[in-house]
Amino acid sequence: MDAMDREEALRSRARRVLPGGTFGNFPGDVILSHGQGGRVWDVAGREYVDFLLGSGPMFIGHGHPEVLEAVREQLSRGTTFFANNEAGIALAEAIVEAVPCAEQLRYVSSGSEADLYAMRLARAFRGRDRIVKFEGGYHGMSDYGLMSLAPKQLANFPQAVPDSAGIPRAVRDEVLVSPFNDLDAVTRLVEARHEEIAGIIVEPLQRLIPPAPGFLEGLRALCTRFGIVLIFDEVVTGFRFAYGGAQAYYGVTPDLCTLGKVIGGGFPLAAVVGRADIMALFDRAAVGEDRFLMQVGTLSGNPVAAVAGLKTLEVLRRPGTYEAVFATGRRLMAGLEAEVARAGIPAQVVGEPPLFDLVFTEGTVGDYRATLRADRAMAAHVNQVMRAGGILKGDSKYYISTAHEGRDIDQALDAFRGAMRSLPGRAA
């Protein structure tokens, strides 16, 4: 069986045993075999520049030799214990030292879990039930998280719209929704209903959209004014925008934040971190039975993930690391903008140098509803043509890694030029 036949056989096997033929993440027509640095290969042998990066975790690239060595050493000592281990303690210390809001930490295994527990912590700490989130913000797969992420019907604020079947109707009443980057709107909401609100959860960079000047600062002041818990969802941005995360990059410190992706070095690991007085609710002896928040996870603080995360953070601390990532990202951003300008296509790059995409629309993209103006069909076509040119990315993100090189950016821009030429009405 040649490589192409093997690939098709695997797709057929996947369709038999997986709903939709996928793991629920990336389209099932792509079946990856291995990765190295900033590139991956599929089972048919096609090579891609990888801007997907496993949806973000592989920030220092695939198969980093120092991470692999640390993992191999730990594997011989044990893979999981359901008890404290030295690597997990050391990683917690490194995170607390790095992240401005972090005084204590509790591990979980996924970003969805981290967001779920952060919201539960806010409710337990405040003794209130309602959470404010921003339309278009992604906070994992919990019932609370899947409110107004990508509503198919736009509702009047602050009404929440469930994004999935199977969510109890009652949950809708516990989530209040506001437009991102509209400080006046969220201020009016909180002023009117602050006695009901436990916390405000926000992605400091919402999917791709940077915060407007003063927006995060205004949220911080609003939460301080009313004693509401401010949660930054940094599952994506943590250790990506700066060693201290987006809160260090933007200069605004929340009460709690959630981390994932980068801190596991490619293994399942996430965490809730924050103020010690809030994190104390995880400690029965400190707060008593009535206020105790139960949290147990079979793989929480897994030592293999912890050593991978520790080594990843060590690599990121080295001089010049973030400067190089930002330079790489800026070069690709500028190249994409130049190409759409040359083609006369209304489009703009939205995001920050380590994480961004091209949005095919005119006007400012400052919130979820602005993204609905984008030409999604054009974006899908461009992504498809670029994949044929050896560029792998998600539907709406370029993730930049420390492993990406100049030749990777050159190839991406060449593929993008080909995609521009392939658009209807363009010269071949």
User: Which residues are known catalytic residues?
Assistant: 138, 233, 261
Contacts (Cβ under 8 Å, ≥6 apart) of 382: 358, 416, 419, 420, 423
Encoding tokens for residue 101?
């809001």
For residue 141, give the amino acid letter: M
Measuring CA to CA, which residue among 368, 321, 372, 329 is closest to residue 351? 329
Encoding tokens for residue 67?
């991470």
Contacts (Cβ under 8 Å, ≥6 apart) of 384: none
How far apart are alpha carbons 202 and 158 in whole angstroms?
A: 15
Q: Which residue has the tokens 């790489």?
A: 328
Question: What are the phi and psi torsion angles at 4 (to 5°)?
Answer: -65, -40
Measuring CA to CA, which residue among 406, 370, 405, 409 is closest to residue 393? 409
* Buried b or exposed e, range 380-391, using 16+ CB within 10 angstroms: ebbbebbbebbb
Residue 197 pairs with which residues in a beta bridge? 130
Q: Which residue has the tokens 């609905």?
A: 372
Q: Is the Cβ–Cβ distance between 107 and 300 less than 8 Å?
A: yes
Q: Is the Cβ–Cβ distance between 239 and 317 less than 8 Å?
A: no
Burial class (CB in 10 A: 0-12, 13-18, 19+), 156: exposed
Encoding tokens for residue 179?
């437009």
Measuring CA to CA, which residue among 276, 292, 192, 274 is closest to residue 234? 274
How far apart are alpha carbons 83 and 16 in whole angstroms?
A: 38
Residue 107 pairs with which residues in a beta bridge? 271
- DSSP letters for 121-139: HHHHHHT--EEEEETT---
How far apart are alpha carbons 218 and 36 in whole angstroms?
A: 42
